[in-house]
Structure 1
Amino acid sequence: MWITLAFSLVFLSWKKNFAFLLLIVVLISALFEGFITLYAIGILLVFFCIGIIHKYYNYKSILSILIEFLLFMGAIALFFHLITGFNNPKILDKVLTGSQSSLYSMYFNLDKSIVPFVLILALPTLFYTKPIKHQTWWKWLILSLSIPILLGIAVLLGGLKLEFALPSWIWQFILANLFFVSLAEETLFRGYIQKRLNDFIGSIPALLITAVLFGLIHYHGGYLLIVFATLAGLIYGIAWMWSGRIWISTFFHFGLNLIHLLFFTYPAYQPHFQ
């Protein structure tokens, strides 16, 4: 089921109808396995019907704007697990990647994974937009190098420590983090929020505001994580601006998370763990 969900997200950017067909298969499987209730499926059906209505209206009409806002709020509700009826399975429960790392738990979040499907109903160009400007290879190299540099800064500030790890559950991590975390977050923050802000206030203000919002959703980790996530959000936002492709910013996002897991204390440094 989870592999099928990942494939549906892959196809969503270029074979939308097939992707939604795969999602239906996933939801039926999830219903039988107890990961979703009929109530939650009913809510998703309402989103889909609203999206169909949105498709047949002028995108600049008042009704179209209202419908898009409703879909956006639906995506927010899914993102923050506010819709009841989803029973996301806990895959990892308080595991350690190393002796200096803090405890880590991981879920396969079905509700959060559906965010891209709802947002593409609101904004058909979710995955693709016109790049701000085509950049040279060396600028892309600098942007790529900013990821380990940012992690190094986190080490200097005491939030992380160097610690190599290759956990047995790394493939589960890759599946969840690439598709159910990074892609969901990038479609919401870069594909939708930054894109819409860019349309109204320009690229640089949109980049900065979106990065700050992205940092603020990490408030549970304290001020240091907020700052770290805000800086990471700038990297992802620039990758999106330069490429016009959500998958590019998603790979930057996932790349940072994977490097963090493999070479640093994950998810954080825990100096006094007993």
Structure 2
Amino acid sequence: MWILLAGALGALQPARRLALLLLALAALLGFYRDVLTWPVLPLLTGVVALVALRRFDPIRSRQHILSEALLVLMSLGLFLHLFPGFHNPLVVDEVKVGAQSLPFSFSFNFDKALIPFVLLACLPTLFRARACPPRYPWIAVLALIAAVPLLLGSAVLLGGLAVEPHFPPWLPAFMLANLFFVSLAEEALFRGYLQQRLRDALGGMPALVISALVFGLAHVTGGVLLIIFATLAGLLYGLAWHWSGRLWLATALHFALNITHLLLFTYPALHH
């Protein structure tokens, strides 16, 4: 089921019909395995109805704007796990990756995986938007790559992390979940949709800063240090998106930082 769902997300931009077919198969398996239960049906029905209505509304009509607002609110609800009927299975429950790490849990999240599907109905350029390339592209690429260890190293200096290499047995499951059901879902919401809409309204740099701040505040439950860390990471992901216009590039950078964090440092944070 989860491979089907990941495949649906991977196919969403180049082959939308195939993606929807794979999503339907994954959903059927989800109901069969009780990962999805009947309270999900009103939500899915509402999403399908809003998407269908948008096909017939003029782009700038009141109905079109209202339907987009409702779909974005649904995406926020999926992000925050507010909708009933999703029973996301725990893969790892309160496990310490290493001696210095805090206990850590993660799930396969069917609800968050739906976010790119919903937002693509709002914004056809979600995956491929207008690029604003830097003057020196290769320098920009190298700077983004170098920023990953620099950011993690800064977290070590601030006392939030420590160097602690790991290679946990559940690494393949983590990579699948983190790439498709975390990194892609979050980048679709914060970069592909929010930053793009803000850029259209306010310009590139205000959109970059605001979306990064909102991304940081979304991690408020982790404390002040995590908010700062997530905001700085959001600036990196936002630059990757702004320069390339490609959602998958921002997602790849997001995933690269997360997997580097897991493999080489205390995860999710240092136990004091």
Give the structure-1-normalised TM-score. Answer: 0.97
Preserved contact between residue 48 and residue 118 of structure 1 (Cα < 8 Å) = no
Compute the displacement of 1:60 (Å).
1.6
Structure 1 alignment gaps of length 5 or more: none
**1:267 aligned residue:** 268
- Rounded Cα–Cα distance in structure 1 between residues aligned with 2:168 and 2:5: 24
Compute the displacement of 1:123 (Å).
1.1
**2:163 aligned residue:** 162
The one-character-per-residue Cα deviations of 1:95-152 (angstroms, maximum 9, x if unpaired) are 1111111100011111011111111111111111010125521211011100110000
Equivalent residue runs for 1:177-256 within 5 Å? 177-256=178-257
- Rounded Cα–Cα distance in structure 1 between residues aligned with 2:217 and 2:80: 13
- Rounded Cα–Cα distance in structure 1 between residues aligned with 2:227 and 2:114: 25
Compute the displacement of 1:214 (Å).
0.2
Q: Does 1:91 align with 2:91?
A: yes
Secondary structure of 1:58's aligned partner: coil
Compute the displacement of 1:55 (Å).
2.2
**2:62 aligned residue:** 62
Structure 2 alignment gaps of length 5 or more: none
Equivalent residue runs for 1:7-156 within 5 Å? 7-134=7-134, 135-156=136-157
Compute the displacement of 1:20 (Å).
1.0
- Rounded Cα–Cα distance in structure 1 between residues aligned with 2:185 and 2:129: 17
Q: Which amino acid aligns with 2:67?
A: I
Secondary structure of 2:59's aligned partner: coil
Compute the displacement of 1:167 (Å).
0.5
Secondary structure of 2:97's aligned partner: coil
Preserved contact between residue 27 and residue 41 of structure 1 (Cα < 8 Å) = no
Compute the displacement of 1:41 (Å).
2.5
**2:258 aligned residue:** 257
Preserved contact between residue 240 and residue 249 of structure 1 (Cα < 8 Å) = yes
Compute the displacement of 1:57 (Å).
2.0
Q: Which amino acid aligns with 2:6?
A: A
The one-character-per-residue Cα deviations of 1:137-170 (angstroms, maximum 9, x if unpaired) are 1211011100110000000000000011000100
**1:174 aligned residue:** 175
**1:2 aligned residue:** 2
- Rounded Cα–Cα distance in structure 2 between residues aligned with 1:237 and 1:59: 27
Q: Supply the RMSD in Å over aligned alpha carbons.
A: 0.9
Q: Which amino acid aligns with 1:193?
A: L
Q: Which amino acid aligns with 1:32?
A: Y
Preserved contact between residue 162 and residue 264 of structure 1 (Cα < 8 Å) = yes
Q: Which amino acid aligns with 2:62?
A: I
Number of residues of Structure 1 aligned to a counterpart in Structure 2 = 271
- Rounded Cα–Cα distance in structure 2 between residues aligned with 1:45 and 1:12: 20
Runs of 4+ in 1 over 3 A off after TM superposition: none
Q: Which amino acid aligns with 1:184?
A: A
